[in-house]
């Protein structure tokens, strides 16, 4: 599956939402059930589905996702927990989780177009791993764009105690208060299946 493809198409194929923005046009409910004989998935197929759901949610290519797994396994800690924490610490994910972007795909575009600065330094790498104390903000000159004026009206503060905290009045500046916990990840997949998949089949 190509991460650049249609989110509606992939959600329907996988049987689960891979983008929160699909709430208003849910491909799993509006079009009704697919009338075809259900085939039982193999063990491989079940594990692969979890991998694809996770990859589509975070917008990560297969090779990069495999590298996340290898690094998580090499730590000697709980592989699933380290993997989830690494995915949550991505810059594009943090923008989405903070409310500065409505989807991860939108957040990725904001980063690649160099609209985002971390600790005052512009970054164009969506996969950048955030650290405690990092400050993420939209570059000052970009805030006058209509896109950000509209988005500002929709901003919602993260829950109290969340790992990202608002650090500015305009809503486009956040600070990493602490590293995310694995159970704070937006899990629409089973991480244990992902670990088993790469341990067994890759």
The HSE-up count of residue 171 (CA atoms within 13 Å, CB side) is 16
Element (H, E) at 166: strand 164-166
pLDDT at 156: 67
pLDDT at 22: 46
Domains and CATH numbers, the chain: 7-84+186-201 (1.10.1050.10), 90-179 (3.10.290.10)
Share of the chain above pLDDT 70, in %: 78
Given a cut of 60, whether residue 93 has pLDDT beyond it is: yes
CA distances from 144 to 50, 90, 115 (A): 40, 26, 12
pLDDT digits (tens, 9 = 90+) for 46-65: 999 999 999 999 999 999 99
pLDDT at 144: 83
**Pair of tokens at residue 19:** 């983008």
Q: pLDDT tier at 29 (50, 70, 90 boundaries)? A: very low
pLDDT at 41: 80
Q: What is the full DSSP assignment across 79-101? A: HHHHHHHHHHTBHHHHHHHHTSS
- Comparing 158 with 188, the larger pLDDT belongs to 188
Q: What is the mean pLDDT of the chain?
A: 84
pLDDT at 21: 55
pLDDT digits (tens, 9 = 90+) for 119-142: 999 999 999 999 999 999 998 888
70-90 average pLDDT score: 97
Given a cut of 70, whether residue 196 has pLDDT beyond it is: yes
CA distances from 190 to 11, 146, 187 (A): 16, 39, 7
Q: pLDDT tier at 20 (50, 70, 90 boundaries)? A: low
pLDDT at 35: 46
């Amino acid at each position: 599956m190509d991460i650049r493809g249609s989110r509606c198409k992939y959600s329907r194929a996988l049987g689960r939402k891979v983008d929160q923005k699909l709430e208003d046009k849910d491909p799993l409910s509006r079009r009704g059930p697919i009338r075809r004989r259900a085939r039982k998935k193999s063990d491989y197929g079940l594990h692969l589905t979890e991998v694809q759901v996770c990859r589509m949610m975070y917008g990560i290519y297969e090779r990069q996702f495999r590298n996340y797994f290898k690094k998580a396994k090499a730590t000697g800690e709980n592989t699933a927990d380290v993997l989830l924490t690494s995915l949550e610490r991505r810059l594009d994910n943090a923008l989405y989780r903070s409310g500065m972007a409505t989807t991860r795909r939108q957040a990725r575009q904001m980063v690649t177009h160099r609209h985002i600065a971390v600790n005052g330094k512009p970054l164009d790498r969506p996969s950048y791993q955030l650290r405690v104390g990092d400050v993420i903000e939209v570059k000052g000159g970009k805030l006058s764009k209509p896109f950000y004026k509209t988005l500002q009206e929709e901003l919602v503060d993260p829950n109290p105690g969340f790992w990202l905290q608002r650090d500015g009045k305009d809503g486009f500046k956040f600070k990493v208060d602490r590293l995310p916990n694995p159970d704070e990840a937006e899990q629409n997949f089973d991480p244990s299946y992902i670990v088993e998949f790469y341990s067994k089949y890759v």
